[in-house]
Structure 1
Amino acid sequence: MLSVIIRTHNGENVLLDVLRPLVAAAAEGVVRDVVFLDIGSNDGTPQIADAAGATFLLAKNTSNQTTEALKAAHRGQWMMLLDQTTVLSPGWLDETLSFVERQERVKTARGRLSAVYRPEHEPEAGSADVRRRMVILAANRLMSLAKLSQGIVMRRADFTGARPPIIDWTAPDPSVRLPNLLRLRSRTHLAQPMEPLEKAEAAEHEQGALSRAAL
């Protein structure tokens, strides 16, 4: 059902946290393939992709980055777009499946929706974090502008329509304009970089789990 594209750039410290919520979905056959669309990593990101059974794709041609990624992530009719810091919250899978199933039953063009998750913030978060969340939600509502860091779910067919969405994957905080944008109740938060020892221990555990799930 879902093909996942994750924008990566020197993300070895955060990617295991990002991949963890996808494991159960892959085991259930919901996540069919995962692509790391990389914009020039020089760390262990390719090794994490290999251990997780994901495709590592180095985006060489700026104008065709999305096209290249879609060719590599070819198994799902629905696309999930994530940033390397985007961690899906518990409950994302059930709500995403419900959203996709509802949309599969919709026949009119007006009913064709794309979806984003709500950005999370903790009650004790600083004012800058709260402002960031409010700006993102206002952009969702007023301009149908979705941030890659929120997590985006959309039909593959929407990329091949008359006016396909344009994504600058190399931007510091990529966003895309998606008419008929729906905000899901599930949330995402930003991955926290791990210390070297913690990262090594997590890698040993998570890479084994991801390999068994055959992403």
Structure 2
Amino acid sequence: MMSVVIAVEDEEEGLARTLASLVPAVAEGVLRDAVILDSGGRESTAAIADAAGCQHVRGSPREALGRIAEQVNASWLLMLKPGVILEHDWFREAAEFVERADAQGEAARLCAAFSYASQRYGLAARMVETWRFVSANLLGRVVEDQGLILSREAVRRISGGGANTIPPRPPAGSRLVLLRAKAHAPAA
């Protein structure tokens, strides 16, 4: 159903936490494979990818995104930043989104992001969460910490334009669906 792409630049600790949050989705058959896109080139990143059974690709997002989209086994890609922790049942809502988009013939036009959740306490953290919610729903804007689910076709469009980050911004002309499932941003 989905493959995951995690772009890493010397962030091994965050990578391990993110991979751990994906295990339930692998067990349920929602995630087929994982690709670690390594722009830092450290051997420890390659070792983590190997231990987790992930493909390890070196290069920048701009260079590798289109190539990765062709290599993965799924028609949908989940793009995450290392350190992002998805809540336990995230994959159920994500799978429902993918199934609906495919059934409605909207795969090329729809993309999804997770609701933003801060790991910090206090009013300022809640205000940031509220702003991210409003920004996603009214403006179609998300931050890297929210992840992005895109069809392979949409990834091809983005890679042709030279995406500089993973997850990239939603493609021009696409409609963003904000999932209720939360992505907990890494504490800065």
More displaced 10-residue stretch of structure 1: 46-55 or 133-142: 133-142
Calculate the TM-score normalised by the size of structure 1.
0.74
Determine the structure 2 residue equivalent to 1:28. Answer: 28
1:101 Cα offset (Å): 1.2
Q: How far apart, in 2, do the equivalents of 1:29 and 1:42 lie?
A: 30
Determine the structure 2 residue equivalent to 1:38. Answer: 38
Determine the structure 2 residue equivalent to 1:79. Answer: 77
* 1:187 maps onto 2:188 in alignment: no
Tell me the number of residue pairs that the alignment of Structure 1 and Structure 2 aligns. 186
Cα distance, 1:135–1:108 mapped onto 2, change above 3 Å: closer
Check conservation: 1:118, 1:150, Cα contact below 8 A: yes
Determine the structure 1 residue equivalent to 2:101. Answer: 103
Cα distance, 1:130–1:108 mapped onto 2, change above 3 Å: closer
Which entry has the higher C-alpha Rg, 1 or 2?
Answer: 1
1:54-106 per-position Cα deviation (integer Å, ceiling 9, x unaligned): 0111115x64231133234x100111000012111022011111111111210
Determine the structure 2 residue equivalent to 1:196. Answer: none
Code of the aligned partner of 1:124: Y
More displaced 10-residue stretch of structure 1: 157-166 or 26-35: 157-166
In the TM superposition, what are the counterparts of 1:153-168 in structure 2 within 5 Å? 153-161=149-157, 167-168=163-164
* 1:133 maps onto 2:129 in alignment: yes
Q: How far apart, in 1, do the equivalents of 2:26 and 2:15 lie?
A: 16
Identical columns (%): 26
The ranges of structure 1 where at least 4 consecutive aligned residues each deviate by more than 4 angstroms after the TM superposition are 161-166
Calculate the TM-score normalised by the size of structure 2.
0.83
1:135 Cα offset (Å): 4.1
- The unaligned stretches of length 5 or more in structure 2 are none
- The unaligned stretches of length 5 or more in structure 1 are 194-215
Q: How far apart, in 2, do the equivalents of 1:119 and 1:108 lie?
A: 24
* 1:11 maps onto 2:11 in alignment: yes
Check conservation: 2:65, 2:159, Cα contact below 8 A: no
